Amino acid sequence: MVKRAIVQTPSDQISEASRPGAKLVAHHEPIVLIGIPQAKIENFIHSYVGLSYADAPAALRRAPPVDIVSGATVTTMVIGDTITRSAIRIARSRGLGGAKAEQAAAATITKTIDASVPAEGWTALLGDGSVRRFNLSVGDINKAFERSGNQAAISHPEAGSPDETFIDLYTALVSVPAIGRSLLGDAGYQHLQQSLKPGQQAIVVAANGRYSFKGSGYVRGGIFDRIEVLQGENTIRFRDRNYERLGDLAADGSPRFNEIGLFAMPEGTALDPTEPWRLQLLAQRAIGAREKAFLTFDFYYSLPAKYVKVEEHAVPPVAATSAAPQAQDASAAALEEPLWQRIWRSKVSQIGVLLAGLLVLAAIFFFQSALVKRPVLYDRIRIGYLVFTLFWIGWYAGAQLSVVNVLTFLSALRTDFKWEYFLAAPLIFILWFAVAASLLFWNRGTFCGWLCPYGALQELLNRGARSIGVPQVRVPFGLHQGLWVLKYMIFLVLFGLSLYSLSLSEEAAEVEPFKTAIVLHFMREWPLVAFAAAPLFAGLFIERFYCRYLCPLGAALAIPARLRIFDWLRRYRECGSPCQRCGNECPVQAIHPEGHINPNECIQCLHCQMLYHNDQLCPVMIQRRLKREKRMAMTPPGIPVRPRTPVTITASPNKE
Is the domain of 374 the same as that of 510?
Answer: yes
pLDDT category at 322 given cuts 50, 70, 90 is: very low
* pLDDT for residue 385 is more than 50: yes
Is the domain of 82 the same as that of 14?
Answer: yes
What interhelical angle do 348-366 and 375-388 show, nearest 10?
Answer: 150
Q: List, for residues 482-511, the tens digit of each pLDDT value.
A: 898 999 999 999 999 988 887 788 888 889
pLDDT of residue 383: 95
- For residue 557, is it within any domain? yes
Q: List, for residues 203-222, the tens digit of each pLDDT value.
A: 999 999 999 888 765 555 56
What span, in angstroms and rounded, lies between the C-alpha atoms of 217 and 220?
A: 5
- For residue 491, is it within any domain? yes
Task: Report the DSSP pairing between strands 131-137 and 234-236.
Answer: unpaired
Mean pLDDT of 2-24: 46
pLDDT of residue 35: 52
* Domain count across the chain: 3
Mean pLDDT of 337-366: 86
User: What mean pLDDT value characterizes the chain?
Assistant: 79
Mean pLDDT of 584-595: 87
Is the domain of 181 the same as that of 135?
Answer: yes
**Pick from 292, 295, 268: which is nearest to 281 by CA?**
295
pLDDT of residue 52: 60
Which of 285, 312, 339 is where one domain is finished?
312
Is the domain of 61 the same as that of 123?
Answer: no
Is the domain of 97 the same as that of 132?
Answer: no
CB under 8 A, 24+ apart: contacts of 579-583:
579/618, 579/619, 579/620, 581/611, 581/617, 581/618, 581/619, 582/607, 582/608, 582/611, 582/612
Of the candidate ranges 2-11, 398-407, 453-462, the one whose mean pLDDT is the lowest = 2-11
Q: List, for residues 80-138, the tens digit of each pLDDT value.
A: 666 776 766 666 666 665 544 444 444 467 788 888 889 899 999 998 889 999 899 99
What residues make up the domain containing 499? 347-566
- For residue 65, is it within any domain? yes
* pLDDT for residue 652 is more than 50: no
Which of 103, 119, 136 is where one domain is finished?
103
Is the domain of 267 the same as that of 196?
Answer: yes
Is the domain of 97 the same as that of 113?
Answer: no
What span, in angstroms and rounded, lies between the C-alpha atoms of 174 and 205?
A: 10
288, 152 contact by CB (below 8 A): yes
- For residue 396, is it within any domain? yes
* pLDDT for residue 348 is more than 50: yes
What span, in angstroms and rounded, lies between the C-alpha atoms of 199 and 221?
A: 28
502, 408 contact by CB (below 8 A): yes
Which of 312, 337, 359 is where one domain is finished?
312
What interhelical angle do 348-366 and 426-441 show, nearest 10?
Answer: 10
- For residue 589, is it within any domain? no
Is the domain of 231 the same as that of 118?
Answer: yes
- For residue 280, is it within any domain? yes
pLDDT of residue 259: 92
Is the domain of 114 the same as that of 75?
Answer: no
- For residue 649, is it within any domain? no
pTM attached to this predicted model? 0.55
183, 172 contact by CB (below 8 A): yes
* pLDDT for residue 16 is more than 70: no
Is the domain of 305 the same as that of 362?
Answer: no
Is the domain of 118 the same as that of 96?
Answer: no
pLDDT category at 573 given cuts 50, 70, 90 is: confident
Is the domain of 280 the same as that of 374?
Answer: no
- For residue 390, is it within any domain? yes
